[in-house]
């Protein structure tokens, strides 16, 4: 052997394995184009191929497949850190658990945990699939960390563990991507797909963070939040095109009083730090304290589970197609005006070309600034995180002046045992400790037997438990004194006992004797007696190409209960002869005009038309001939018009200064002898009201009120209601006889987001009536 050959062999034998690996691939080498290129969206396969290829080549990246999505795609989480850290993830997870929960650590252990711990950062991307910059940004961020060799990249790797979810909705990456590619060069290029981008819930996939109805939510909660409870969560979204280029926290008011202000302050501070750096990089159009509030656990799991939440909302293009926005066409958003410099909008964007590449650049810049700050101040973040643990275990939440109940008690023996189990399962899924009382518990004048479920408010996630168990008091916020209400970003209530139909009581201050937390309950199965697995009724659910989420939630409810149904589209309704195929047709919540007209002219001709006059006539004839039509919420207005029903919506045309209820839980009285109500067992009958109608019957011979708002007293149970007297004595649910059939109008959402299980029996009751 010649000397050179010998040296080469010796070198090969002594070189560490990692150095012999192939070079770390770039995103472009897998995609075949530069990430962020105009009119190019990656498929989910390309995205997963990239992460698997990087994992093979880089010791800084580990890919975990957490399960299968709703439509069978792999759901990924990517761990990124120093190779030495990744080899000992179990150790760092244990440190994190001890920092989170003071009960788990020794008396003098805190200092060593603060010294050794890493700042855990969860980045979730692309939960909303038309916000498609989020498909590509995770690849660019990973590339910067996997191949980066700058002091800053090394500091991030040394001080943090980044847990990256490249898409919180992988099915949507392909639903939107396939649609986009199929429409390139047509009039529909850049339009949203004519179907929900999550099979069941569409955009509501980011409203599922306390009900946990969808598998994608559960993967992130079960495999990432529950074991890690990260210090910082970065959720990457997009907003409309015509105002700022990116939103960063602070959020707007209101904020849920159950959130520890350490997290609000941390969120504010980090958001400001990100914008500071981005403006230094020359980026403009950065808006703070705009549009998005800090109210609900539905979309901000982390703020109730020890993590600050850095929502970023970057301006959209037309999917991946660039757009032009002249400066003078920029407009106002909630909290700022995009043509005016203000403290929370300090650098004007000059307008002009806005591309997919711009979106990715803004998103990457924001996430990178966050990672750099998180690495630099690692110890400060860990100290703040540890302080949260002490405060959660204090006997009264130390950040509030309101009285905090010591506990909530849930009696086991209730009429709907499935609902009780679902409530306990749901709480436990959100890391709430549920115990059994060891003695009888007195609350609100009732004594509940020993063995009742007990939820203490002094526990690691006590603020969260309180938020989902108590009744919300949303503040009265107006544009100016006497002016219109300030619209909440989303809805205003989340009281699970009212939504599920479970009796619960709060225990003021007395200590509650209880055993150790019960072990996590297995998920109770959904079932509807007489329907699940053996329904005799032929049910159709109307599916509009405008893709309202309520339609998806309706399908979800049927599927989880194993009740068969058929989806029907406009042209099938218009074709008529519906009695030959169906006994029942459901119109999910949708604007009446949208149902009539259908999708806009941008969509392919085959999807045009809506229900039109032919559809209305077909539905009227279906009911006349013995069919049952169920109309949910706003679709009731459609049914009243189309079928000429003897019912009036008393809220039609009423101004929001006179009546306002943007997503609240309201009390109703139930007509118990109606077959529609026969299955309803909720101890406090309550409906989910969200911009719905309220009814007055104009011909009592033909219509009956099955649920009615109380004639006296407060209608509001949880959330926000202005002008509640408009509802006094009005009907919430009406049963109308039409020919040989029935139209049933729900002035509320009876299966709201898979949560209002208390009112689902009103659907099954209407369907089961012969």
In the set 60, 105, 218, 237, which binds Zn ion (CB under 5 A)? 237
Q: By CB under 5 A, which span of 230-238, 275-283, 362-370, 540-548 interacts with Zn ion? A: 230-238
Q: By CB under 5 A, which span of 27-35, 89-97, 128-136, 184-192 interacts with Zn ion? A: 128-136
End-to-end CA distance of the chain: 92
Q: By CB under 5 A, which span of 236-244, 273-281, 293-301, 641-649 interacts with Zn ion? A: 236-244
Q: By CB under 5 A, which span of 229-237, 334-342, 564-572, 688-696 interacts with Zn ion? A: 229-237
From the CB of 140, what's the least distance to Zn ion, in Å?
19
Nearer Cβ to Zn ion, position 206 or 751? Answer: 206
From the CB of 293, what's the least distance to Zn ion, in Å?
15
Nearer Cβ to Zn ion, position 58 or 169? Answer: 169
Residue 720 contacts residue 490 (beta carbons within 8 Å): no
Nearer Cβ to Zn ion, position 131 or 229? Answer: 131
Residue 619 contacts residue 628 (beta carbons within 8 Å): no
Coil/strand/helix, residue 642: helix
Which structure tokens are listed for 577? 């002869």
Q: How many residues bind Zn ion (CB under 5 A)?
A: 3
In the set 73, 128, 199, 306, which binds Zn ion (CB under 5 A)? 128
Residue 735 contacts residue 674 (beta carbons within 8 Å): yes
In this structure, the strands spanning 539-542 and 584-587 are: parallel
From the CB of 245, what's the least distance to Zn ion, in Å?
16
- Per-residue contact track with Zn ion, 130 to 159, x per CB under 5 A? -x----------------------------
Phi and psi based region of residue 200 (left: phi greater than 0; alpha: psi -120 to 50; beta: remaining): alpha
Coil/strand/helix, residue 329: helix
Contacts of 676 by beta carbon, 8 Å cutoff, 6+ apart: 706, 733, 735, 744, 762, 765, 766, 769
Nearer Cβ to Zn ion, position 316 or 431? Answer: 316
Which structure tokens are listed for 237? 């979204």
From the CB of 128, what's the least distance to Zn ion, in Å?
4
From the CB of 237, what's the least distance to Zn ion, in Å?
3
From the CB of 549, what's the least distance to Zn ion, in Å?
13
From the CB of 235, what's the least distance to Zn ion, in Å?
8
Residue 536 contacts residue 477 (beta carbons within 8 Å): no
Nearer Cβ to Zn ion, position 129 or 426? Answer: 129
Nearer Cβ to Zn ion, position 292 or 748? Answer: 292
Residue 595 to residue 615: CA distance in whole angstroms: 10
From the CB of 121, what's the least distance to Zn ion, in Å?
19
Phi and psi based region of residue 633 (left: phi greater than 0; alpha: psi -120 to 50; beta: remaining): left
Q: By CB under 5 A, which span of 123-131, 190-198, 246-254, 566-574 interacts with Zn ion? A: 123-131
Nearer Cβ to Zn ion, position 237 or 309? Answer: 237
Nearer Cβ to Zn ion, position 490 or 696? Answer: 490
Across-strand partners of 233?
Answer: 122, 309
From the CB of 136, what's the least distance to Zn ion, in Å?
16
Nearer Cβ to Zn ion, position 553 or 709? Answer: 553
Residue 717 contacts residue 666 (beta carbons within 8 Å): yes
Q: How far is CA 174 from CA 34, 50, 70, 170, in A?
A: 19, 16, 13, 7
From the CB of 236, what's the least distance to Zn ion, in Å?
9
Nearer Cβ to Zn ion, position 203 or 305? Answer: 203
Length of the chain: 770
Nearest residue to 611 (alpha-carbon basis) of 593, 630, 628, 631 = 593
Residue 307 contacts residue 122 (beta carbons within 8 Å): yes
Nearest residue to 752 (alpha-carbon basis) of 399, 500, 540, 435 = 500
Residue 564 to residue 547: CA distance in whole angstroms: 20
From the CB of 124, what's the least distance to Zn ion, in Å?
11
Determine whether 84 is exposed, middle or buried from the number of CB atoms within 10 Å of its CB (0-12, 13-18, 19+): exposed
Nearer Cβ to Zn ion, position 128 or 753? Answer: 128
Residue 168 contacts residue 205 (beta carbons within 8 Å): yes
From the CB of 194, what's the least distance to Zn ion, in Å?
19
From the CB of 127, what's the least distance to Zn ion, in Å?
6
Phi and psi based region of residue 100 (left: phi greater than 0; alpha: psi -120 to 50; beta: remaining): alpha
Residue 316 contacts residue 238 (beta carbons within 8 Å): yes
Residue 309 in contact with Zn ion, rule: CB under 5 A: no
Nearer Cβ to Zn ion, position 310 or 766? Answer: 310
Nearer Cβ to Zn ion, position 237 or 435? Answer: 237
From the CB of 336, what's the least distance to Zn ion, in Å?
19
Nearer Cβ to Zn ion, position 132 or 492? Answer: 132
Coil/strand/helix, residue 53: helix
From the CB of 126, what's the least distance to Zn ion, in Å?
9
Q: For residue 61, how far is the Cα from the chain centroid?
A: 28
From the CB of 137, what's the least distance to Zn ion, in Å?
13
From the CB of 74, what's the least distance to Zn ion, in Å?
22
Nearest residue to 172 (alpha-carbon basis) of 43, 51, 353 = 43
- Per-residue contact track with Zn ion, 262 to 281, x per CB under 5 A? --------------------
Nearer Cβ to Zn ion, position 105 or 198? Answer: 198
Return the ∠ at Cα 452 (arms to 449 and 453), rounded to 5°. 165
CA dihedral 95, 97, 101, 107 (to 10 degrees): -30
Residue 669 to residue 711: CA distance in whole angstroms: 10
Residue 606 to residue 571: CA distance in whole angstroms: 9
Q: By CB under 5 A, which span of 8-16, 237-245, 315-323, 605-613 interacts with Zn ion? A: 237-245
Residue 437 contacts residue 407 (beta carbons within 8 Å): no
Coil/strand/helix, residue 321: strand
Nearer Cβ to Zn ion, position 217 or 768? Answer: 217
Which structure tokens are listed for 218? 């559960």
Nearer Cβ to Zn ion, position 131 or 572? Answer: 131
- Residue 51: its H or E element: helix 44-57
Q: By CB under 5 A, which span of 55-63, 91-99, 126-134, 647-655 interacts with Zn ion? A: 126-134
- Per-residue contact track with Zn ion, 498 to 537, x per CB under 5 A? ----------------------------------------
Q: Considering only residues 373-432, where is the footprint of Zn ion by CB under 5 A? A: none
Using CB under 5 A, list all residues that contact Zn ion.
128, 131, 237
């Amino acid at each position: 052997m010649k000397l050179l050959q010998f040296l080469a062999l010796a070198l090969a034998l002594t070189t560490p394995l990692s150095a012999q690996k192939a070079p770390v691939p770039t995103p472009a080498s897998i995609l075949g184009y530069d990430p962020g290129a105009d009119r190019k969206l990656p498929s989910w396969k390309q995205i997963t191929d990239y992460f698997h290829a990087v994992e093979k080549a880089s010791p800084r990246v580990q890919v975990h497949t957490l399960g299968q999505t709703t439509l069978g795609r792999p759901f990924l989480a990517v761990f990124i850190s120093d190779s030495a850290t990744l080899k000992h993830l179990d150790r760092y997870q244990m440190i994190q658990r001890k920092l989170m929960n003071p009960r788990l650590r020794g008396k003098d252990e805190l200092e060593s945990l603060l010294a050794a711990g890493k700042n855990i950062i969860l980045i979730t991307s692309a939960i909303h699939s038309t916000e498609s910059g989020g498909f590509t940004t995770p690849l660019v961020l990973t590339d910067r960390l996997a191949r980066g060799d700058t002091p800053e990249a090394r500091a991030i790797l040394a001080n943090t563990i980044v847990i990256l979810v490249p898409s919180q909705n992988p099915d949507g990456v392909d639903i939107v991507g396939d649609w986009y590619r199929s429409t390139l060069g047509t009039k529909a290029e850049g339009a949203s797909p004519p179907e929900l981008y999550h099979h069941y819930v569409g955009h509501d996939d980011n409203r599922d963070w306390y009900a946990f109805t969808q598998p994608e939510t559960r993967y992130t909660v079960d495999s990432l939040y529950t074991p890690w409870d990260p210090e910082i969560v970065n959720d990457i979204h997009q907003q409309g095109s015509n105002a700022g280029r990116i939103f960063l926290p602070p959020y707007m008011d209101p904020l849920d009083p159950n959130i520890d202000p350490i997290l609000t302050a941390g969120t504010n501070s980090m958001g400001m730090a990100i914008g500071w750096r981005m403006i230094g990089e020359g980026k403009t159009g950065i808006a703070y304290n705009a549009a998005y509030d800090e109210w609900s656990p539905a979309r901000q799991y982390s703020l109730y589970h020890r993590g600050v939440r850095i929502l970023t909302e970057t301006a959209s293009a037309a999917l991946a197609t660039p757009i032009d926005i002249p400066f003078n066409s920029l407009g106002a958003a909630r909290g700022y005006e995009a043509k005016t410099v203000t403290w929370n909008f300090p650098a004007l964007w000059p307008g002009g070309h806005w591309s997919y590449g711009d979106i990715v650049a803004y998103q990457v810049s924001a996430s990178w600034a966050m990672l750099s700050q998180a690495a630099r101040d690692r110890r400060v973040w860990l100290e703040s995180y540890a302080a949260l643990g002490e405060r959660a275990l204090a006997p009264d939440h130390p950040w509030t002046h309101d009285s905090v109940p010591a506990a909530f008690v849930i009696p086991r023996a209730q009429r709907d045992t499935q609902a009780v189990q679902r409530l306990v399962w749901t709480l436990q899924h959100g890391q709430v400790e549920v115990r059994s009382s060891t003695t009888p518990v007195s609350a609100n004048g009732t004594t509940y037997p020993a063995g009742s479920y007990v939820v203490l408010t002094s526990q690691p996630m006590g603020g969260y438990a309180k938020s989902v168990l108590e009744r919300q008091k949303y503040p009265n916020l107006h544009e100016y004194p006497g002016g219109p209400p300030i619209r909440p970003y989303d809805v205003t209530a989340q009281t699970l006992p009212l939504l599920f139909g479970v009796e619960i009581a709060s225990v003021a201050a007395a200590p509650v004797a209880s055993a150790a937390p019960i072990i996590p309950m297995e998920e109770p199965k959904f079932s509807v007696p007489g329907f699940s697995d053996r329904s005799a009724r032929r049910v159709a659910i109307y599916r509009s190409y405008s893709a309202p989420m309520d339609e998806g939630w309706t399908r979800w409810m049927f599927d989880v209960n194993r009740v068969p149904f058929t989806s029907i589209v406009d042209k099938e309704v218009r074709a008529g002869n519906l009695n030959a195929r169906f006994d029942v047709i459901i119109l999910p919540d949708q604007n009446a005009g949208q149902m009539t007209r259908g999708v806009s002219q941008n969509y392919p001709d085959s999807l045009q038309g809506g229900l039109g006059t032919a559809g209305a006539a077909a539905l009227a004839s279906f009911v006349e001939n013995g069919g049952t039509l169920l109309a949910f919420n706003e679709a009731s207005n459609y049914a009243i018009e189309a079928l000429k029903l003897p019912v009036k919506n008393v809220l039609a045309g009423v101004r929001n200064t006179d009546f306002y209820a943007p997503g609240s839980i309201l009390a109703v009285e139930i007509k118990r002898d109606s077959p529609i109500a026969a299955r309803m067992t909720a101890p406090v009958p309550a409906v989910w009201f969200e911009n719905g109608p309220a009814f007055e019957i104009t011909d009592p011979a033909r219509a009956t009120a099955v649920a009615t708002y109380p004639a006296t007293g407060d209608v509001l149970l949880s959330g926000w209601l202005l002008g509640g007297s408009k509802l006094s004595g009005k009907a919430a649910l009406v049963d109308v006889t039409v020919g040989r059939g029935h139209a049933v109008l729900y002035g509320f959402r009876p299966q709201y987001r898979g949560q209002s299980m208390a009112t689902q029996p009103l659907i099954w009751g209407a369907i089961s009536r012969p």
